[in-house]
A and B are shown apart, each in its own frame.
Chain A
Amino acid sequence: MYVKVNADRCSGCRECELVCSTYHFGVSNPKRSGIRIEKRGLTEDIPRVCVHGNGCRYECISACKFDAIKKDDGGIVRIDHEKCVGCGACARACPLNAIWTFEGKAYKCDLCGGEPRCVKVCSQGALEVVR
């Protein structure tokens, strides 16, 4: 399962970022979000979110020297914030630019236990769940 992006439909509202961080950390902060909208001027709004191996080779897992990123039994790639030192190697390795670091920790999508909250508030169909 993963969140599929239809970038040409994204309106750039970034509601997904605020909902994601609030759901996971109880605070609103796009920098802690597991999804980010990359804005390129007026014309492009590109959602960046992990595909959990559906279109990548788990480069982040290979890049992590601290054993902080793992694929769980359900196929979800997760970051262990206890182990993460925020070196950013995973972010640099990710071919989809779907990981980033903030205040010494890496952040990425964990699919919200099977019901991604970002998709729930995407009114434009830019995000969809693929099972």
Chain B
Amino acid sequence: MTCWSGKLLYVDLSKGTVKKEDIPEKLYKAYLGGDGFGSYYMNKFVSGDADPLGEENALILAPGLLVGTPIPTAGKTEFFAKSPLTDGWGEGACGGSIGLALKQAGYDVLIVKGKSEKPCYLFIDNDDVEIRDASHLWGRSTRETEEEIKKEENDCSVACIGIGGENLVRYAIISSDDRQAGRGGLGAVMGSKKFKAIAVRGDNDIKMRDPERVLELTFEWYEKMVNSQAFKDDGQYGTGEFLEWMNRERGTFPTRNWREGVFDQRQKIDPYYWAPRYSVKNKACPQCVKPCGKLFVIEKGKYRGTKLDGVEYETLFSLGGNCGNPDIESVAKANELCDLYGIDTISTGGCIGFAMDLYENGILTKDDTDGIDLRFGNPDAVVEMVERIARREGIGDILAEGVKRAAERIGKGAERYAVHVRGMEPPAYDVRGIKGMGLAFMTSPRGACHLRSGAYALELVGKFWKYEGVDRLSAKNKGQEIADMENFMAIYDALGVCKFSRGLFLLEGFHDILLATTGMDYSEDDLLKIGERICNLKHLFNLKCGWKREDVKLPPKIRIPIPDGPSKGSYISEEEEREMLDDYFRARGWTRDGRIPDKKLRELGIEEFAK
């Protein structure tokens, strides 16, 4: 066996026990790793009625199969748990070094269940595994926690939570090397277990079937990457490179809590403006030769001393455009606080924009906000609200629940302003003008998410992979497209390859890479079948959690036509929404109400989980 360790580490924090198990080879063949193992072990170890913040929920870590090989951009580790934000499938990918360390320590999967009485952290030193006291780390920021543990133990990688996770903010993140497993509140799952951090030291070699061939492929993909346009764009401006295009050419940059699709003050948050002024150098995830991260430093003024890896496109939207905030220093400061406190920038900005909308519509007043002037475009208010949310102070305590629950608590028609799908605040794609992404928000197993399908590029540009001439303003024929893209992207998450490499690594590329690293000889169809298996297992988990078709709907704002710009007048009607879902369920071979027929389960070899 090459490229994998064959071992799973199981930790029960309630009992204080540690167990190691073999992972049968057939599981690697059926699931690869990362996302595949997540979908398998979540179904195996977490019941549908588990309280996301209770001891029966599990936190699962699985590095992608190619993590630790030299294959470029294969540095992603996946985290899983039942989500406290959506009460269903939860996952987040992170570009920190924790996955490489875990793999070198000899484990391809880590499962943590139970609940500790006192703050604790897990220290894994190859074969030796220890649950340690973390009282001295509780209350510390993600960066401080990582530094502190590294002082205690040299040469280790750390994944940890900040106070957001401790305070059970429902969209708290897990941080590793200042990179985040961002969505769905997995940090709160750790917080509920009084589980502050995981630290790993790993010494084992990662073996490959044909190392020489792996190097050849590495150099080949390296050349393709550095000669791509994306390398130049991301290298200079990061993921926000296309912000102007999203506004001017597509008009699908959600602005002021999804009122508009064009942000009139976007130039001030555009990386073409800020990168030359604030970006000090490029930052990369492990194994990435195409860095999109930027070390952003503010040297003077009120936010002097701010340092972060960012600002990413999604955050330029969430803490910028979505709050009508044209002040890049405020966006960067708020982003840094989100990272340090350990909360998701997308959901945080979604919640602040929502509160601002309520404030401007008189549903919230200064009495509710402790005097904070929550107008759209108030840069200080954005920074202050991040503090309040992470600390759960005042209105922040309600917003820490996410817009869905917050709207229920606030009442007075607040739900009309709550932009979410199945409880998750969406990323920066105004789906009124990108209709296929509207479907993808609904079908993503973790709620409104752009990455399970990764179809935004296809929709916005019109072609990718086997698709051509896709019309973003049409709701026709989107079912097969989104299902195909989800199956395809699941392979990226199983292998741990960054989705920003899509377009470079198509499926035929993975064939040679898998053959050289593991010896598995998989055709494109074989891989897509694995992707389909993973997607079905995630959906199966949601079904066990009580997923119902009637709960899957786009927010009320999506029925209001985009008021201006290149997508002016576009929206998704109730009928289009229904048709797209019908079309998707047909493409998936599911029933009209989204159940998976036994025949499909058997075809995918996952019938054992259907009980």
A interface residues (Cβ-Cβ under 8 A, vs B): 8-15, 18-19, 21-23, 25-32, 39, 41-43, 102-103, 117, 120-124
Interface centre among B208, B218, B308 (most CB of A within 10 A): B218
Q: How far does the alpha carbon of A19 sit from the alpha carbon of B208 in the complex, in Å?
A: 12
**A14 with B287: in contact, given A22-B70, A42-B295 (CB under 8 Å)?**
yes
The answer to whether A22 and B214 touch across the interface, beta carbons within 8 angstroms, is yes
The answer to whether B307 and A32 touch across the interface, beta carbons within 8 angstroms, is no
Report if B601 contacts A (CB, 8 A): no
The answer to whether A31 and B203 touch across the interface, beta carbons within 8 angstroms, is yes
The answer to whether A13 and B281 touch across the interface, beta carbons within 8 angstroms, is no
CB within 8 Å of A: which B178-211 residues = 178, 203-208, 211
Q: How far does the alpha carbon of A72 sit from the alpha carbon of B147 in the complex, in Å?
A: 41
Size of the chain B interface, CB-CB below 8 angstroms: 46
The answer to whether B281 and A11 touch across the interface, beta carbons within 8 angstroms, is yes
The answer to whether B208 and A23 touch across the interface, beta carbons within 8 angstroms, is no
The answer to whether A13 and B203 touch across the interface, beta carbons within 8 angstroms, is no
9 closest A-B pairs by CB: A27-B205, A13-B284, A11-B284, A18-B70, A28-B206, A123-B289, A11-B291, A26-B211, A11-B282
Q: How far does the alpha carbon of A16 sit from the alpha carbon of B282 in the complex, in Å?
A: 16
Inter-chain pairs besides A15-B288, A39-B177, A42-B295, 10 sampled, C-beta below 8 Å? A13-B286, A13-B289, A19-B218, A22-B69, A29-B204, A42-B283, A117-B215, A120-B219, A123-B290, A123-B291
The answer to whether B282 and A124 touch across the interface, beta carbons within 8 angstroms, is yes
Report if B475 contacts A (CB, 8 A): no
Interface centre among A10, A32, A121 (most CB of B within 10 A): A121
The answer to whether B147 and A41 touch across the interface, beta carbons within 8 angstroms, is yes
Report if B401 contacts A (CB, 8 A): no
| Cross-interface CB contact of B211 among A11, A22, A39, A120, cutoff 8 Å | A22
**A42 with B309: in contact, given A11-B284, A15-B288, A18-B68 (CB under 8 Å)?**
yes
Chain A: minimal CB distance from B95 (Å): 10
Chain B: minimal CB distance from A45 (Å): 8
Q: How far does the alpha carbon of A86 sit from the alpha carbon of B526 in the complex, in Å?
A: 47
| Cross-interface CB contact of A43 among B69, B212, B235, B295, cutoff 8 Å | B295
Contacts of A39 in B (CB 8 A): 177
Q: How far does the alpha carbon of A31 sit from the alpha carbon of B283 in the complex, in Å?
A: 22
Q: How far does the alpha carbon of A31 sit from the alpha carbon of B155 in the complex, in Å?
A: 10
Chain A: minimal CB distance from B424 (Å): 28
Contacts of A21 in B (CB 8 A): 205
Contacts of A13 in B (CB 8 A): 75, 284-289, 291
Per-residue CB contact flags for chain B residues 275-317 toward chain A (1 = under 8 Å, else 0) read 0000011111111111101010000000000011100000000
The answer to whether A29 and B72 touch across the interface, beta carbons within 8 angstroms, is no
The answer to whether B293 and A123 touch across the interface, beta carbons within 8 angstroms, is no
Interface centre among A43, A102, A123 (most CB of B within 10 A): A123
Q: How far does the alpha carbon of A58 sit from the alpha carbon of B258 in the complex, in Å?
A: 64
**A102 with B203: in contact, given A22-B70, A22-B211 (CB under 8 Å)?**
yes
Q: How far does the alpha carbon of A117 sit from the alpha carbon of B289 in the complex, in Å?
A: 14
Report if B143 contacts A (CB, 8 A): yes
Chain B: minimal CB distance from A121 (Å): 5
| Cross-interface CB contact of A19 among B70, B104, B147, cutoff 8 Å | B70
| Cross-interface CB contact of B287 among A18, A26, A43, cutoff 8 Å | A18
**A8 with B281: in contact, given A18-B69, A22-B70 (CB under 8 Å)?**
yes
Chain B: minimal CB distance from A127 (Å): 12
Interface centre among B75, B205, B219 (most CB of A within 10 A): B205
Report if B242 contacts A (CB, 8 A): no
**A27 with B211: in contact, given A42-B307, A43-B307 (CB under 8 Å)?**
yes
Q: How far does the alpha carbon of A15 sit from the alpha carbon of B72 in the complex, in Å?
A: 7
The answer to whether B291 and A29 touch across the interface, beta carbons within 8 angstroms, is no
* 16 A–B contacts from the bound complex (CB under 8 Å): A9-B282, A11-B283, A11-B288, A13-B286, A13-B291, A22-B70, A25-B205, A26-B211, A26-B212, A27-B207, A27-B211, A29-B206, A42-B178, A43-B307, A103-B203, A123-B291
Q: How far does the alpha carbon of A26 sit from the alpha carbon of B69 in the complex, in Å?
A: 11
Chain B: minimal CB distance from A88 (Å): 14
Q: How far does the alpha carbon of A29 sit from the alpha carbon of B293 in the complex, in Å?
A: 24
Chain A: minimal CB distance from B497 (Å): 14
Contacts of B218 in A (CB 8 A): 19, 22, 121
Contacts of B222 in A (CB 8 A): 120-121, 123
Report if B41 contacts A (CB, 8 A): no
The answer to whether B206 and A27 touch across the interface, beta carbons within 8 angstroms, is yes
Contacts of A30 in B (CB 8 A): 100
The answer to whether A32 and B291 touch across the interface, beta carbons within 8 angstroms, is no
**A20: nearest residue on chain B (CB-CB)?**
B70
Report if B149 contacts A (CB, 8 A): no
Report if B226 contacts A (CB, 8 A): yes
Chain B: minimal CB distance from A85 (Å): 19
Interface centre among A12, A102, A117 (most CB of B within 10 A): A12
Report if B225 contacts A (CB, 8 A): yes
**A11 with B205: in contact, given A18-B68, A43-B307 (CB under 8 Å)?**
no
Contacts of A42 in B (CB 8 A): 143, 178, 283, 295, 307-309
The answer to whether B215 and A23 touch across the interface, beta carbons within 8 angstroms, is yes
CB within 8 Å of A: which B345-392 residues = none
Per-residue CB contact flags for chain B residues 124-160 toward chain A (1 = under 8 Å, else 0) read 0000000000000000000100010000000000000
**A29 with B287: in contact, given A22-B214, A41-B147, A43-B295 (CB under 8 Å)?**
no
Q: How far does the alpha carbon of A19 sit from the alpha carbon of B290 in the complex, in Å?
A: 16
Report if B272 contacts A (CB, 8 A): no
Report if B464 contacts A (CB, 8 A): no
Chain B: minimal CB distance from A31 (Å): 6
**B222: nearest residue on chain A (CB-CB)?**
A121
| Cross-interface CB contact of A15 among B204, B205, B287, cutoff 8 Å | B287
The answer to whether B291 and A15 touch across the interface, beta carbons within 8 angstroms, is no
Chain A: minimal CB distance from B104 (Å): 7
